[in-house]
Structures are given as C-alpha cells and as structure tokens.
Amino acid sequence: MEEELHELIRALEEMSERQSDYHAQALLFATSKLLQEQDKRIALMEGELDGTLWSPRNWGE
C-alpha cells in the first residue's frame, strides 16, 4: 500500500509540473500534499495505537 501511495504522489507531482493551466497545476499539487499529510497522520496514529496497546500501565485494566 505504501509503495502505491508513493507512486501516486510522484505521478501527481509529475502531472502538476507538466500542466500549463494554473488551476489544474494547483489542484494536482494540493492533492499530492494532502496525500502526504494523510500518510503522516496514519503513521502517527498507528504508532499511538501500538504504544497504547503495549503500555504496561494498561495491562491491569
């Protein structure tokens, strides 16, 4: 999944660079940045979930 996401982001950035229409270029660039931010947030939430599940403080609950 992660490799597919990175390929999609690269494709969006390449398409953005080739566009002559400013609005299309801005939309593709913003979509690329949005996907990158979502990927970061997913990774952070997965880490938070792992940390919460494996916290010895919560084992007795």
pLDDT in tens, 2-36: 889 999 999 999 999 999 999 999 999 999 999 99
What pTM did the predictor assign? 0.73
CB 20 within 8 A of CB 43: no
pLDDT-based confidence at 50, cuts 50/70/90? confident
How many alpha carbons fall within 13 Å on the CB side of residue 19?
15
Nearest by Cα to 16 from 40, 39, 34, 41: 34
Residue 1 has pLDDT above 80, yes or no: no
User: Could you tell me which residue, 10 or 55, shows the higher pLDDT?
Assistant: 10
Q: For the chain, where are the E strands, in sequence order? A: none
How many alpha carbons fall within 13 Å on the CB side of residue 52?
6
